[in-house]
Structure 1
Amino acid sequence: MFQINRQVILEHPRLKFLQDVVPIDEHMDGIEKFINLCYVDEGWNVVQHGRVIALRATDEQRLSSAFKASLYLGKYKDMANTERFLKSMVSAGHSYEPIRGETILFLFIGIGKPVYDHLVTYTVGRPTRIAGGQRANVPWGFELPVEARNEEEYAEELDRIRRVIQLAKTDRVEQMQAARAKLPVGYIMPPFLFEFSEEALIKHVFRQRLFERGAQGATVEVVSDMMECCMQIDPQKWEVLVDYHGPHLQQWEKAMRTLRKESYRLEDICKLLSISLEEALQKDLYSLLLESVGKLPPSMWEKQR
């Protein structure tokens, strides 16, 4: 039986839930009950990390992508080889077609509207979007920005959300569709679903929101939860995919551009790192280059801290 880890959601330090006007515990009870009925009882391995729950991974055992990779490569005698895609296609930079149609369905609980906006921009490889909070459903509270310096400055936002709920649901003066126009940007959306193909996750979502620097802090946190869910589902697959698409690629590209532009010699690299030539000769060359000419500048968010 799957149980939602409510503590990591409801006790999150930046989340302010309106439990006095929204029956959040009751809603969570219903969600948990039907996750078990609709997914766990049907044989799906449901996993959670932080505020993200992976409900369904269509190729958890990698047998579908194994069959497709074997067909792609013309290997008909061992079509259940679950490592063929990773070792013969990913490592060779071939087509990602075998996992393009394989998807992971994510449920997000306790997520602010800005993070939703950052995720909804991905349409390639996203077959499912269920966002009830964009219509007439009641917001659950307010999410403080990661970058907030004075928490007390945001207290009035929670009151604004409470007034909107009362206006639409208690006093019934306005419909929620209209009253939601008064909501602050950072309101907590009711739970929503996004489904992404595995290819879109590794090539787009994780790359742009995790591997490349500069994504907004709350988005980085939630997308990190998504990746950790993937790691729980299939560590071997996602470790290989991250190895070939991870953050080190940005450093390596910068290193190549700098080396080509500046024509550095080993002595120049030593000066950049303030080490002797003898010390440099003892170091791993790959690490030496990433630490020097591959060092990335601070992101906009890091500069503001």
Structure 2
Amino acid sequence: MITRNNEGNLVYQGDTFKIVLHRYSDPERLNAARNAAIYLGKSDRNNTRRPLSIIKMGHVPEVFRGEYAEFEFIDVTKEVYDHLITYTTRNMRVAGGNRALSSDDFALPSDKVKDPQTVQDAIDNSMWNYKQLLENGETKQVARSAMPIAAKLNPFVYQFNFVTLMSSIFPQRLWEKGAQGNTVKVVNGMWELVRHIDMELWDTVYEYHGEHVVEWKLVQKQLRKSGLTIERFIEAASKLIEQGTIRDDMKLDSVLRRLYGAQKTIW
């Protein structure tokens, strides 16, 4: 759910965390429009649809690199923090960390869990050990060695440029399989926030970078590897229609992605 706080910032409320969008550099897409006009040698520098055309045509999206979104993450776990910090093309990071601050709570994993109670008990024990070190006078930086990765961190701020969001964070953490559950939830919150600002831009990003694009790349790989002919495909499709696996009124790209574009993960 997205609301506005007292300062007027957009806030995404997750199940165990919260994200505040403090800054979004180009909400009306005017800077990107100017840069796109310069890039293509056009005179109409206020054409805000031109940056979308650059995405659609597959050009290098340099016109967006100077634009950024700045997020404050609240009650996000150490696990998710580690997944976000891997993107070295981020613009900035501001975090107190567990050298200066302590963690007081944790979030359970949202991946498939065989025995939720046992997992919760184990994390509870880790948190108890961590807090015991603090209570016994150990410094925060010493005590954090016993802190579980599920511990919620104190608020921290990341600023990402649009190109990193478009080409790395959203594809790798939302549209490709393999990202861990809590990370997916948090990055989805980031996605919802920027999309709330400029739905047209980010829907265009999805159309040309979303999971259907990932699946289509797998389709191409499988078709080139198998050497499938039209004749063999028609035979296979006919059998699947008879079995009720696919319908004859389905769009061809959906059929191909279902048959040859299934994503797999090594995890």
TM-score grouping bracket, smaller chain normalisation: 0.7 to 0.9
Equivalent residue for 2:23?
56
Cα distance 1:167–1:260, how it changes in 2: closer, same or farther (>3 A)?
closer
- Quote the RMSD (CA, aligned, Å): 2.3
Distance 1:49 1:244 in 2: 27
Equivalent residue for 1:67?
34
Equivalent residue for 2:74?
109
Partner of residue 100 from structure 1, selected from 45, 48, 65? 65
List per-residue Cα deviations over 1:246-265 (Å, max 9, x = no partner): 11112111111222222323
Equivalent residue for 1:28?
none
Identity in percent: 35
List per-residue Cα deviations over 1:40-71 (Å, max 9, x = no partner): 4xxxx534252222111011111111111111
**Cα displacement (A) at 1:240:** 0.3
**Cα displacement (A) at 1:271:** 5.5
List per-residue Cα deviations over 1:90-140 (Å, max 9, x = no partner): 11111211110100011111111111111110112x011122124221113
List per-residue Cα deviations over 1:231-283 (Å, max 9, x = no partner): 1111000000110111111211111122222232332441673448xx86643
What is the one-letter code of the residue matched to 1:121?
T
Q: Is the 8 A contact 1:55 1:106 kept in 2?
A: yes
Distance 1:300 1:107 in 2: 31
SS in 2 for 1:111: coil
What is the one-letter code of the residue matched to 2:152?
I
Q: Is the 8 A contact 2:37 2:45 kept in 1?
A: yes
| 1:152 counterpart = 2:123 | no
Distance 1:257 1:156 in 2: 43
Q: Is the 8 A contact 2:33 2:46 kept in 1?
A: yes
* Aligned positions, number: 255
Equivalent residue for 1:285?
252
What is the one-letter code of the residue matched to 2:263?
L
List per-residue Cα deviations over 1:200-256 (Å, max 9, x = no partner): 001001111111111111111111111111111110000001101111112111111
**Cα displacement (A) at 1:196:** 0.6
Equivalent residue for 1:81?
47
Distance 2:249 2:226 in 1: 24
Give the TM-score of the pair, scaled to structure 1.
0.76
**Cα displacement (A) at 1:166:** 5.6
Where structure 2 has 5 or more consecutive residues not aligned to the other structure, the ranges are none
Q: Is the 8 A contact 1:270 1:280 kept in 2?
A: no
What is the one-letter code of the residue matched to 2:197?
I
Q: Is the 8 A contact 1:207 1:247 kept in 2?
A: yes
Q: Is the 8 A contact 1:131 1:192 kept in 2?
A: yes
SS in 1 for 2:177: coil
Distance 1:134 1:272 in 2: 59
Q: Is the 8 A contact 1:47 1:232 kept in 2?
A: no
Q: Is the 8 A contact 1:131 1:191 kept in 2?
A: yes
Cα distance 1:121–1:272, how it changes in 2: closer, same or farther (>3 A)?
farther
Equivalent residue for 1:21?
none
Where structure 1 has 5 or more consecutive residues not aligned to the other structure, the ranges are 4-32
Equivalent residue for 1:267?
234
Equivalent residue for 1:294?
261
Distance 2:266 2:146 in 1: 29
Equivalent residue for 1:230?
194
Cα distance 1:272–1:130, how it changes in 2: closer, same or farther (>3 A)?
farther
What is the one-letter code of the residue matched to 2:123?
E
Runs of 4+ residues over 4 Å off in structure 1 = none
